[in-house]
Amino acid sequence: MINKVAKKMWMLRLMLLLSSLAAASSSNVKPGSGCQEKCGLVTVPYPFGIDDPMCALNRNFSLNCSRRDSPPKLMIGDLEVFNLSIENGSMIASFFTARRCYDGLGNRTSDYNNPYVKLGYRPLRFSDTRNKLTAIGCDTLAYMGDPNGSFWTGCVSICTKESAKLDKSSCSGIGCCQIPLPKSLKSLNLTLRSIYDHEYTGKFMPCDYAILADETFNIAEFQASEDKSSSNVTIEWVVKEKKCPDDPNSKVYGCGDNTACYYSENGQGYRCRCKPGFQGNPYLGCVDIDECLDKEKYHCEGKCKNTIGSYTCDCPIGMYGNGKVDCRGFRIATIIGVIGPVIFSVIVGILIFIACMERRKQKNFLKNGGEILKHQSVRIFSAAELVKATKNYDESHFLGEGGFGSVYKGVLPDNTQIAVKKPKESDKIRINQEFQKEMGIVSRINHKNVVKILGLCLQTKVPLLVYEFVSNGTLSHHIHDKSSPVLRTWKMCLGIAAEIASALDYFHSLASPPIIHGDVKSSNILLDDKYIAKVADFGASVLISPDQAAMATKIQGTFGYLDPEYLMTGNLTEKSDVYSFGVVLVELLTGVKPGSHMTPASNEKINIVQYFLSSIENNSLRQILSFRVADESELEEVEIVAELASECLRSSGSKRPTMKQVSEELDRLKRLHENLWAQENSEETEHLLGESSTHATAVIAQPNTQTFESFDIENYGYSM
Ligand X SMILES: *[C@@H]1O[C@H](CO)[C@@H](O)[C@H](O)[C@H]1NC(C)=O
What residues numbered 142-171 form the site for ligand X, per CB under 6 A? 145-150
| Residues whose CB is less than 8 angstroms from the CB of residue 642 and which lie 6 or more positions away in sequence, other chains included | 585, 589, 612, 616, 621
CA 607 and chain centroid, separation: 72
Instruction: Name the pairing type of β-strands 379-380 and 453-457.
Output: parallel
What residues numbered 405-444 form the site for ligand X, per CB under 6 A? none
Residues 39, 50, 76, 138: which binds ligand X (CB under 6 A)? Answer: 76
Q: Smallest gap, in angstroms, from Cβ of residue 272 to ligand X?
A: 15
Instruction: Provide the annotated binding site for ATP.
Output: 422
63 near ligand X, judged by CB under 6 A: yes
Neighbours of 678 (CB within 10 A): 10
Number of residues that bind ligand X (CB under 6 A): 35
Nearer to ligand X, 238 or 498 (CB): 238
293 near ligand X, judged by CB under 6 A: no
Q: Which stretch binds ligand X (CB under 6 A): 225-233, 351-359, 511-519, 524-532?
A: 225-233
546 near ligand X, judged by CB under 6 A: no
Neighbours of 330 (CB within 10 A): 14
Q: Smallest gap, in angstroms, from Cβ of residue 217 to ligand X?
A: 7
Residues 28, 60, 201, 558: which binds ligand X (CB under 6 A)? Answer: 60
Nearer to ligand X, 240 or 508 (CB): 240
DSSP E strand stretches across 47-127: 49-50, 62-66, 73-76, 79-85, 90-96, 98-102, 108-112, 116-118, 124-126
Instruction: Provide the annotated binding site.
Output: 422
What residues numbered 18-57 form the site for ligand X, per CB under 6 A? 41-42
Q: Which stretch binds ligand X (CB under 6 A): 77-85, 176-184, 259-267, 588-596?
A: 77-85
Q: Which of 505, 519, 563, 577 is catalytic?
A: 519
Residues 121, 317, 602, 652: which binds ligand X (CB under 6 A)? Answer: 121
Nearer to ligand X, 123 or 703 (CB): 123
CA–CA distance, 110 with 100 (Å, rounded to integer)? 6
Nearer to ligand X, 208 or 241 (CB): 241
59 near ligand X, judged by CB under 6 A: yes
What residues numbered 178-207 form the site for ligand X, per CB under 6 A? 189
Q: Is 326 a catalytic residue?
A: no
280 near ligand X, judged by CB under 6 A: no
CA–CA distance, 398 with 647 (Å, rounded to integer)? 38
On whether the CB atoms of residues 608 and 596 are closer than 8 A, the answer is yes
Q: Smallest gap, in angstroms, from Cβ of residue 41 to ligand X?
A: 5
CA 665 and chain centroid, separation: 71
The DSSP code for 181 is P
Alpha helices in 628-658 (DSSP H): 632-648
Q: Smallest gap, in angstroms, from Cβ of residue 288 to ligand X?
A: 24
Long-range (24+ apart) CB contacts under 8 A made by 171-178 are 171/134, 171/136, 171/219, 175/136, 175/137, 175/138, 175/205, 176/134, 176/135, 176/136, 176/219, 177/134, 177/135, 177/140, 177/142, 178/132, 178/133, 178/134, 178/135
393 near ligand X, judged by CB under 6 A: no
- Which 3 state secondary structure label does DSSP give 145? strand
Of 208, 203, 195, 229, whose CA–CA distance to 135 is shortest? Answer: 208
CA–CA distance, 278 with 631 (Å, rounded to integer)? 130
CA–CA distance, 263 with 253 (Å, rounded to integer)? 14
On whether the CB atoms of residues 145 and 153 are closer than 8 A, the answer is yes
Q: Smallest gap, in angstroms, from Cβ of residue 120 to ligand X?
A: 9
Nearer to ligand X, 64 or 459 (CB): 64
Of 282, 231, 223, whose CA–CA distance to 257 is shortest? Answer: 282
Q: What does R_g of the chain's alpha carbons equal in angstroms? A: 64
Binding characters for ligand X, 79-118, by CB under 6 A (x = yes): ---xx-x--x-x-x------------x-x------x-x--
Q: Which residues pair with 457 in a beta bridge?
A: 464
CA–CA distance, 103 with 302 (Å, rounded to integer)? 73
64 near ligand X, judged by CB under 6 A: yes
Q: Checking phi first, is residue 583 left (phi over 0); if not, alpha (psi -120 to 50) or beta?
A: alpha
314 near ligand X, judged by CB under 6 A: no
Q: Smallest gap, in angstroms, from Cβ of residue 19 to ligand X?
A: 21
On whether the CB atoms of residues 60 and 269 are closer than 8 A, the answer is no
Q: Which stretch binds ligand X (CB under 6 A): 226-234, 257-265, 401-409, 532-540?
A: 226-234
Q: Smallest gap, in angstroms, from Cβ of residue 245 to ligand X?
A: 13
Q: Which residues pair with 205 in a beta bridge?
A: none
Nearer to ligand X, 155 or 420 (CB): 155
Q: Smallest gap, in angstroms, from Cβ of residue 160 to ligand X?
A: 23
Q: Which stretch binds ligand X (CB under 6 A): 164-172, 230-238, 305-313, 600-608?
A: 230-238
Q: What angle do CA 134, 138, 139 make, to 5 degrees?
A: 100
Q: Smallest gap, in angstroms, from Cβ of residue 157 to ligand X?
A: 21
Of 718, 290, 284, whose CA–CA distance to 273 is shortest? Answer: 284
The DSSP code for 413 is T
Residues 232, 573, 590, 646: which binds ligand X (CB under 6 A)? Answer: 232
Q: Which stretch binds ligand X (CB under 6 A): 224-232, 423-431, 562-570, 688-696?
A: 224-232
Nearer to ligand X, 223 or 459 (CB): 223
230 near ligand X, judged by CB under 6 A: yes
Nearer to ligand X, 149 or 690 (CB): 149
Q: Which stretch binds ligand X (CB under 6 A): 75-83, 561-569, 593-601, 699-707?
A: 75-83
Residues 122, 198, 273, 480: which binds ligand X (CB under 6 A)? Answer: 122
Binding characters for ligand X, 638-677, by CB under 6 A (x = yes): ----------------------------------------
Nearer to ligand X, 62 or 590 (CB): 62
Q: Smallest gap, in angstroms, from Cβ of residue 126 to ligand X?
A: 13
212 near ligand X, judged by CB under 6 A: no
Longest dimension (CA), the chain: 192
Nearer to ligand X, 188 or 462 (CB): 188
Q: Smallest gap, in angstroms, from Cβ of residue 92 to ligand X?
A: 6
SS3 content of the chain, % helix, strand, coil (to 5): 35, 25, 40
Nearer to ligand X, 142 or 450 (CB): 142
Q: Smallest gap, in angstroms, from Cβ of residue 177 to ligand X?
A: 20
In angstroms, what CA-CA distances link 601 with 468, 605, 606, 611, 707?
46, 10, 11, 12, 11
CA–CA distance, 461 with 459 (Å, rounded to integer)? 7
Neighbours of 485 (CB within 10 A): 10
Q: What angle do CA 202, 203, 207 make, to 5 degrees?
A: 45
75 near ligand X, judged by CB under 6 A: yes
Nearer to ligand X, 243 or 424 (CB): 243
Task: Tell me whether residue 359 is exposed, middle or buried, using C-beta atoms within 10 angstroms of its C-beta: 0 to 12, 13 to 18, 19 or more.
Answer: exposed
Interface contacts to ligand X, rule CB under 6 A: 41-42, 58-60, 62-64, 75-77, 82-83, 85, 88, 90, 92, 105, 107, 114, 116, 121-123, 145-150, 189, 230-232, 241
| Residues labelled catalytic | 519
